[in-house]
């Protein structure tokens, strides 16, 4: 479990997180939702230790996050940030292979090479593997970064809007991958997501953030309602059921 307690974070003179407390369950897919500017990425950055905690606590599987070594963190948590700014003179295959670094520290074994090969196949990157990152499209780049996090093979995987730029085929394929990782390998996945239908179809748990505070949190079937979503986005959203599945309609 990732346990966030009374997290407050100020950027400039804006309080972007205001005494946020939330538990993120293990072995499940958690959707982190909320309007633009709500504080989702900030929360993810703090959990990923991309920025120091100003006030409050985060525990990763009962351990104080600030006490975990950088080496240990890289073995336990993989992160795909919203902003994929990185040296573009890197080939796709090298970026993906970089995800294995925490495991081999520069001495890849056959297992590492096999993991990279498999990820390139699973994320449909084989034909692109020799290309530089500045020679591929936004969606292709997004897939390369997800593949890099995937090969890291950590218990926790945090993804900030990984569906950005992905067409329906790749978005579906990515969500199926994440489901398999949670169901078959017991991985814990946190995904910041704006597409409510992908979230409804795949997330076990929802955490909704609004104006730096938790609007609601809990099991998908229990907390995601038309009222809760409409209130969250200040726009009408209707949940309807068809063939036993739930969909969010907003137009």
Contact present, 228 and 209 (Cβ < 8 Å): no
Q: Does 40 bind ligand ATP (CB under 6 A)?
A: yes
The angle formed by the CA atoms of residues 16, 217 and 195, to the nearest 5 degrees, is 80
Residue 14 binds which entry of ligand ATP, Mg ion, none, with Cβ cut-offs from 5 to 8 Å by kind?
A: ligand ATP
H or E element at residue 219: strand 213-219
CA quadruple 199, 160, 228, 20: dihedral positive or negative? positive
CA-to-CA distance for 81 and 98, rounded, in angstroms? 16
Q: Which positions from 82 through 121 interact with ligand ATP, judged by CB under 6 A?
A: 82
What are the C-alpha distances in Å from 48 to residues 34, 73, 201, 217? Answer: 19, 9, 26, 20
- 42 touches ligand ATP by CB under 6 A: yes
Partner from Mg ion, ligand ATP, none binding residue 34, C-beta < 5-8 Å depending on class: ligand ATP
- Stretch of 7-15, 149-157, 183-191, 198-206 lying at the interface with ligand ATP (CB under 6 A): 7-15
Binders in 44-83 for ligand ATP, by CB under 6 A = 82
Task: Identify which range of 17-25, 66-74, 78-86, 194-202 contacts Mg ion by CB under 5 A.
Answer: 78-86
Among 1, 5, 6, 11, binds ligand ATP (CB under 6 A): 11
**143 interacts with ligand ATP by CB under 6 A:** no
What are the helix (H) ranges across the chain? 40-47, 70-76, 92-98, 101-104, 110-122, 138-151, 168-185, 196-202, 220-223, 226-233
DSSP 126: G
Quick one: how many helices (H) and strands (E) in the chain?
Answer: 10, 12
Q: Note whether 202 binds Mg ion by CB under 5 A.
A: no
Please select the residue that binds Mg ion; options are 41, 140, 142, 154, rule is CB under 5 A. Answer: 41
**Choices 29-37, 57-65, 135-143, 181-189; region in contact with ligand ATP by CB under 6 A:** 29-37
The interface region with ligand ATP, picked from 9-17, 56-64, 115-123, 179-187 by CB under 6 A, is 9-17
Question: Among residues 13 and 36, whose Cβ is nearest to Mg ion?
Answer: 36
Nearer to ligand ATP, 120 or 203 (CB): 203
| CA distance readout (Å), 38 to 7, 42, 45, 137, 214 | 14, 9, 14, 28, 10
Question: CB nearest Mg ion: which residue?
Answer: 41
In the complex, which residues of this chain contact Mg ion (CB under 5 A)? Answer: 41, 82
């Amino acid at each position: 479990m990732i346990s966030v307690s009374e997290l407050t974070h100020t950027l400039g003179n804006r309080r972007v997180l205001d005494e946020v407390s939330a538990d993120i369950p293990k072995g499940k897919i958690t959707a982190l939702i909320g309007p633009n500017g709500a504080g989702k990425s900030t929360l993810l950055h703090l959990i990923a230790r991309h920025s120091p905690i100003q006030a409050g606590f985060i525990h990763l599987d009962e351990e104080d996050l600030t006490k975990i070594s950088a080496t240990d963190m890289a073995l336990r948590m993989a992160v795909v940030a919203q902003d994929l700014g990185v040296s573009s003179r890197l080939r796709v295959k090298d970026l993906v292979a970089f995800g294995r670094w925490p495991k081999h520290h520069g001495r890849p074994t056959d297992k590492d090479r096999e993991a990279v090969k498999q990820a390139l196949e699973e994320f449909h990157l084989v034909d692109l593997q020799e290309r530089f990152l500045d020679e591929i499209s936004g969606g292709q780049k997004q897939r390369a970064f997800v593949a890099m996090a995937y090969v890291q093979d950590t218990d926790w995987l945090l993804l900030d809007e990984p569906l950005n730029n992905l067409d329906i085929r790749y978005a579906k394929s990515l969500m199926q991958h994440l489901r398999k990782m949670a169901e078959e390998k017991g991985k814990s996945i946190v995904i910041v997501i704006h597409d409510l239908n992908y979230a409804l179809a795949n997330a076990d748990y929802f955490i909704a953030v609004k104006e730096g505070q938790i609007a609601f949190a809990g099991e998908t079937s229990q907390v995601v309602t038309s009222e809760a979503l409409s209130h969250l986005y200040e726009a009408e959203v209707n949940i309807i059921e068809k063939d036993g599945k739930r969909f969010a309609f907003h137009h």
